[in-house]
Amino acid sequence: MFQSRTHTCGELRLCDAGKSVTLAGWLENVREVGANFAFLVLRDYYGTTQVVVETEEMMRIIKGVNKETTIQVAGTVRERESKNSKQATGEIEIVPSEIKILGKCRHNQLPFEINKSKDADENTRLKYRYLDLRNPAVKQNIILRCQVVAAIRAAMTQKGFLEITTPILTASSPEGARDYLVPARNHPGKFYALPQAPQQFKQLLMTSGFDRYFQIAPCFRDEDARADRTPGEFYQLDMEMAFASQNDVLTTLEEVLRPIFCQFGKYRRVSQAPFIRIPFNEAMERYGSDKPDLRIDLEVRDITAEVAGSEFGPFQNATVKAVSVDNFTEGRKWIDKLLADVEVQTGNKCCWFKVDENGELTGGISKFLTEQKASLAEKLGLKPGSFVCMAAGKKLAAQKTAGVIRNMMGKRIPGHFDEEQYAMCWIVDFPMYEMGEESGELEFCHNPFSMPQGGMQALLDAEGDTEKLLAINADQYDLVVNGYESASGAVRNHDPEIMVKAFQMVGLGEEDVKAKFPAMYNAFTYGAPPHAGAAPGIDRIVMLLCGEESIREVITFPMNKTAQDLMMDAPTAVSQKQLDDVHILINEAHL
């Protein structure tokens, strides 16, 4: 079977008793119970098997051997007297006739106990990731990832998609995040960029006459880490369809991804297809987020009109949003922590009041709402025992803060969070443009290559009018699963005239478009088909399937939160010769 073994450590059963076998694996544990008697646990990829040492010769071999040494054990299978029902091989054990050391572990003390590595400090785990991955619980996430990718490939191929790989070294492109740049040795002063996504290439494939494309694509973005986003690189199911509408893409992804969640997910319940479709503006109003977690049954309500006239300062000339619950029994300490946690996450303060057993408003800012009691009760359906938490400010800030309140209240107050399911929805009708938070100028809201709803006419009608431009929606869509954006896509702008006009609205002229996207612009002038696509995130989907809270748990060799590979010690300094070869001079004043 293999050079070093006849069976794996997860294979033998009671029916194999009496057989002569050879196993190989890692020495997981040694328990000595006498001068010449010990129990060993041998572990490999497939499982564990107990080995019983009963002779002086065998005992002499294992004496002083450190845990995690790789060994080969030849011996006879016999029935165990004390069986272990929790172990697949728990009815048998091996009596060894020969033990060989294959790879010695030279460390008496491991950085962490292998089977409890998930309890260790994360940076330690990442530095010794090859040991962390020996933990079967950690390894299982990677195995699941492999199975999910294989299933996705099979489903996409079955639907007529061709798997086509696109370049890794390409041109820098303004797609929303910082590029990773690669100096070009043969072209001094010029740089390649690692692709943030294969966006332009997949659209070029559609103009090339390929009808359906996909790949499990590596993407590179110099972004800060989050629990659901790893810095550096990530993988996505990149796909595109020619002569396709938004509905074609959404239906295809529902048919591909829903079975993946049904087959591999931690939770048994998965939203039925077609998934509900929620316009962006509605999502912001009802949930305070374009990534709503629909497992929470609470909604955000606008009470701006109801609190008009209140003397409470933050409500003056502000949008006011509220989240309310009935049968509230928590005390002031709980409320104070909620308010503090919301402020930490959003940077904005929120306020509250309760309804007492007599139907009167009490606590928090209740004294400022005496005249508004009746209108609030009608709008929010207040009754004795109700609790209301509110956010005020500019509309978007109030919406987002209320969205955080909704999530926290929903998950902290029993009865409002149905966790064990995959609640899926599409967010559609994203704004084409937005006002940049830093620039204060009109910018593309999401993908600049999206088709504006209404096409050229919508742009012409809104030209020169910022409010009208902000009201234009794009044919963009996101798949949201349990509050995580899990895919993003759009119907593409395949008309070069509409593309130029769309970019003119953000201050870029035709020459800018030609300079920034020369291949795509030129290709579209040769007759481009209408096309649409999307890109579900593989890492994030596997994280959801595993029920993990950190995306690093499903990546084989992840970076840490500051984009360092502690195992390989990257990034690292390079030699002066390497810098000279690529014409790079380090400005030490900036170090």
**Is there a contact between 416 and 166 (Cβ–Cβ < 8 Å)?**
no
**Is there a contact between 421 and 293 (Cβ–Cβ < 8 Å)?**
no
Please give the order of strands across the beta sheet that includes 387-393. 301-302, 319-325, 387-393, 350-355, 361-362
- Which one, of 238, 266, 244, 278, lies nearest residue 424 by Cα? 278
In the numeric block, which tokens belong to residue 95? 């009596």
pLDDT at 319: 98
**Is there a contact between 526 and 475 (Cβ–Cβ < 8 Å)?**
no
Please write down the HEC assignment for all residues of 537-569.
Answer: EHHHHHHHHHCCCCHHHHCCCCCCCCCCECCCC
pLDDT at 49: 98
Q: Which residue has the tokens 């048919």?
A: 255
**Is there a contact between 553 and 546 (Cβ–Cβ < 8 Å)?**
yes
- Which one, of 116, 93, 96, 130, lies nearest residue 13 by Cα? 93
SS3 content of the chain, % helix, strand, coil (to 5): 30, 25, 40
Cα dihedral 451, 455, 458, 464 in deg (nearest 10): 70
Q: Which amino acid is at 361?
A: L
- For the segment 476-510, what is each residue's pLDDT rounded down to a tens digit? 999 999 999 999 999 999 999 999 999 999 999 99
Q: Which amino acid is at 401?
A: T
Residues of the chain with pLDDT under 50: 1
Determine the Cα–Cα distance for residues 506 and 491; give it in Å rounded to an integer. 20
Strands (E), 176-293: 180-183, 191-194, 212-221, 232-242, 269-270, 276-279
Q: Which domains does the chain have, with CATH numbers?
A: 14-103 (2.40.50.140), 138-278+424-562 (3.30.930.10), 296-417 (3.30.1360.30)
Distances (CA, A) of 402 to 267, 391, 406, 408: 28, 6, 6, 10
Question: Which SS3 state, helix, strand or coil, does residue 450 take?
Answer: strand
Determine the Cα–Cα distance for residues 216 and 219; give it in Å rounded to an integer. 10
Sign of CA dihedral 101, 103, 108, 109: negative
Q: State the pairing for strand pair 531-536/212-221.
A: unpaired
pLDDT at 1: 47
pLDDT at 502: 95
pLDDT at 36: 87
Residue 526 CB partners (closer than 8 Å, separation 6+): 207
In the numeric block, which tokens belong to residue 398? 């109030």
Residue 466 CB partners (closer than 8 Å, separation 6+): 435, 442
pLDDT at 497: 95
Whole-angstrom Cα Rg for the chain? 30
Sign of CA dihedral 250, 255, 258, 261: negative
Alpha helices in 463-533 (DSSP H): 466-470, 496-504, 510-516, 518-524
Cα dihedral 387, 408, 424, 233 in deg (nearest 10): 160
Distances (CA, A) of 389 to 116, 349, 514: 40, 11, 50
